[in-house]
Structure 1
Amino acid sequence: MSTISFKAHIEDASQVEAIKAVLKALKIKFEVEDNPYNPEFVEKIKESEKQAKEGKVTRVKKENLKEFLGL
């Protein structure tokens, strides 16, 4: 027996059920992992939270916001 992994970018739950039905019909054992966020993205968010807690932030006054954004 060998194992493969794949990602399915679905739009609704009915698509998950359709994929499950096909795999069951082919007698293929499977597992469904629900991971709504990209792990790399989650790591970036955690790093940003850590930086904020350490005070490594940039504060911009409202009147300087356009200049800061280059607008």
Structure 2
Amino acid sequence: MKTQDIYILEPNTSEEANALKAFAKALKIKFEVKEKPYNPEFVAKILESQKQAKEGKVTRVKKENLKEFLGL
């Protein structure tokens, strides 16, 4: 008998993901893997940073000034 239940598991590590896949395969359970999309706000920030870098809007720090720049 086929069940109508759907289980959603969210592994935190690749080891957990591999174990879940192996478990499902061993029991011959049909499964599919869907990647979690990135947070849209995060993607927008990355794209903006890439645009700024292409436009040359960057801060360059010489190695000898790095500690001062970081406030160390």
Q: Provide TM-score, normalisation by structure 2.
A: 0.54
Q: Provide TM-score, normalisation by structure 1.
A: 0.54
Q: Aligned letter for 1:42?
A: V
Secondary structure at the residue paired with 1:68?
Answer: helix
Q: CA RMSD in A?
A: 2.6
Count of paired positions: 49
Give ranges in structure 1 of 5+ residues lacking alignment. 1-7, 15-31
> Following the alignment from structure 1 to structure 2, what is the Cα–Cα distance between the partners of residues 9 and 51?
38
Q: Which residue of 1 aligns with 2:10?
A: 10
Sequence identity percentage? 72
Deviations 1:31-52, CA, capped at 9 Å, x for gaps: x863342111111000000000
1:7-46 equivalent positions in 2, closer than 5 A = 10-11=10-11, 12=17, 14=20, 34-46=35-47
Moved over 6 A (4+): none
> Following the alignment from structure 2 to structure 1, what is the Cα–Cα distance between the partners of residues 10 and 43?
20
